[in-house]
Chains A and B, each alone.
Chain A
Amino acid sequence: MKILVPLKRVADPDNANKVKVPADGSKVDTAGLEWKANPFDEYALETALRLTEDGKAQKKRLGEIVVVTFGPKDTEATLRAALATGADRAIRVETDDDHIDGIIVAKALAKIVAEEKPDLVMLGKQQVDGDTNQVGQILAELLDWPMATFAGTVQEEDGGLLVGREVDGGQLDVRVKLPALVTVDLRVVNPTSVYSKVTDKSKFKYAEGVRFAPLPAIMKARKKPLAVKNLGDLVEDTALRVKYLRYEAPPERAAGVRVPDVDALVDKLKNEAKVL
């Protein structure tokens, strides 16, 4: 199976409370924050790796993974990190965040899919910076491919995948035949969430979370192929459909009081907050 995994680098989400908006609202200031791959995209990569291996013999690859990102040259660090964990090739589309939106990214990816002809596109359900949750769905529509969004489980079958989607009120199982597109949710990296056809799921569990690259793999990743494309060569209409006018900081919420015991808590809720 050949899998295309689009990745986006984001300002370290665990430091998002250090994101600042200057008074003129001109930007979101992420100065001083580390860049890392969007966590959901890392989960998509981990899912793709699990689908292209025998869990018990992970070094032998059973398919190919191509990772793609959009951004300036320094986003190649994100691609190299993905190559180090096991992806085979990388593509960077030269652009910057201010000049793309979900539709433009989806159109560029559609062109890359036409060139690369993957069996599967696997990506995170949303980016934790823009929080838009749309590229996967738009791309599936542009390709006229079936999609399974918000995947919590993925099991490879003959010619397709059985995907458990996390939705309101439970889990919805859908079956997709390839080629198809899947966007992943958090629990797809649980130990028993994803299995390739050859991994014996009665006998094998993955470690929790995403895998880390050992040092030799990081060295080797430097030599893996990385191609650069121009956005203008992939998409004709690069006019933004979503225009960002300005930014605002959220209202501050002041910390309240500590109460010494349960009686004081009940008293405050009854007589001060009046919610009992």
Chain B
Amino acid sequence: MGNVLVLAEVAEGKLRKTTHSAVTFARDAAAQLGGTYDILVIGAGVDGPAAEAAKLGAQKVLVADDASLENYLAETYAPTVAEVGKGYQVVVGTASPFGKDLLARVAGKLDAGYASDIVSLLPQENGKLTYKRPIYAGNAFVICQLESPVEIVSVRQSAFDPAAEGDGAAATEKVAVVGPSSALDRVSWVTFNSVKSERPELTEADVVIAGGRALKEQFYDILNPLADEFSAAIGASRAACDAGYCAPDLQIGQTGKIVAPGLYIAVGISGAIQHLAGMKSSKVIVAINKDEEAPIYQITDYGLVADLFKAVPEFTDKVKAARA
């Protein structure tokens, strides 16, 4: 028997949806191990997120709440996560920037094996949890196991359906906050320059509209009306982010956001393999591009070769009419 600990992610006083995907993994892993799963909510003033976490079917919700944890730094969070985590067989979080930053540091603290960004939990082999994770920008998968008393795992959010809230509420329990590592003396949180958006999160949206460098300064002028029509999230190619047409955290690809929405519309994106790695699990893929040789057409369900500055506004109007 072994138990699983989920590392919850909190932002702006709420539980992030990333957490729900890690919970789905934890539920499956605990079932395989004949154990249970708990959720660790860590931060300052996190009663609200803890109450949200309590609805996700865990045995217990553990709360590490301290004013010193207000602004996230791995140097302050990792000692507590490691201390709580070492009582579990598996510690899991989601491969968001938060999870990727923190979980690897926790793995270092526990001298533990770390399987990052996994896309599925396979049936056990030789009595051990067995994970599948993408390598080479998703052009191959590796099946792996971890050989350490505590196993550290991060899940790819788009590959695990979010756990639904249930009726019951798990008991919450305060856990002691472990003092920061001495490295904290040499690091300080300065400021968070937040890019506000009213749109859904890229990794959670049912529809994603993604733009490339071809949109130039008209990136949002062209994409906003279409995204409004679908209540879609807006994403981008690396080239569009590098050129400054949109914020860096909109980048979809191997090392950016990984998305798998029901509908993905690529506008003026040629389709470098690094971009495809971030979106090729989408259910329906549409591309609108002037270049008929663009590699993106190798994976699109519906490709339209056209001048996007004309085709996208026309498409937006006609989608609106078709849905009226």
Contact = CB atoms under 8 A, between A and B. Distances in A.
Interface of A: 11, 13-14, 16-17, 19, 21, 25, 28, 40, 101-103, 106, 125-126, 128-134, 136-142, 144-150, 152, 160, 162, 164-180, 185-187, 190, 239-250, 253, 255-259, 261-263, 265-266, 268-270, 273, 275-276
A133 B117 contact: yes
A250 B136 CA distance: 11
Nearest to B184: A146
B147 interface: yes
B183 A262 contact: no
Given A132-B116, A243-B146, A167 B187 contact: no
A239 B185 CA distance: 33
A111 to B, nearest CB: 14
Nearest to B272: A14
Contact of B147 (A137, A170, A239): A239
A46 to B, nearest CB: 15
Q: Which 10 A-B pairs have the closest CB atoms?
A: A141-B108, A241-B113, A146-B187, A137-B104, A138-B108, A256-B301, A134-B104, A177-B186, A173-B190, A170-B194
Contacts of B132: 248
B304 interface: yes
Interface in B278-296: 280, 284-286, 292
Contact of B140 (A19, A133, A185, A263): A19
Interface string B57-98: 000000000000000011100100000000000000001111
Contacts of A148: 187
A250 B141 contact: yes
Contacts of A257: 301-303
A243 B117 contact: no
Contacts, number: 283
Interface string B127-170: 00010111111111111111110000000000000000000000
A239 to B, nearest CB: 7
24 contacts: A19-B136, A101-B113, A103-B113, A125-B255, A129-B135, A131-B135, A137-B100, A140-B105, A141-B106, A146-B186, A147-B187, A170-B192, A170-B247, A175-B187, A186-B248, A190-B242, A241-B113, A242-B146, A246-B143, A255-B298, A258-B304, A258-B305, A262-B314, A275-B207
Given A130-B135, A137-B74, A241-B147, A167 B183 contact: no
Given A13-B273, A131-B136, A263 B116 contact: no
A82 B75 CA distance: 31
Contact of A152 (B113, B188, B248): B248
B259 interface: no
B268 to A, nearest CB: 15
Interface string B108-124: 11011111110000000
Which of A28, A148, A164, A275 has the most B CB atoms < 10 Å from its CB?
A: A275
Given A133-B117, A258-B305, A186 B242 contact: yes
B195 interface: yes
B270 interface: no
B125 interface: yes
B238 A265 contact: no
A11 B135 CA distance: 12
A138 B255 CA distance: 19
A17 B137 CA distance: 9
Nearest to B249: A168
In terms of DSSP, what is the predominant structure of the interface of chain A? mixed
A52 B254 CA distance: 30
A30 B51 CA distance: 49
A150 B101 contact: yes
Interface in B32-60: none
Contact of A250 (B11, B138, B306): B138
B190 A162 contact: yes
Given A101-B113, A169-B195, 7 more contacts: A129-B135, A137-B107, A141-B109, A148-B187, A171-B192, A245-B145, A258-B297
Given A106-B108, A186-B255, A244-B143, A170 B300 contact: no
Contact of B192 (A11, A173, A265, A269): A173
Q: Which of A101, A242, A262 has the most CB of B within 10 A?
A: A242
A28 B33 CA distance: 31
B300 A133 contact: no
Contact of A170 (B78, B190, B238, B249): B249
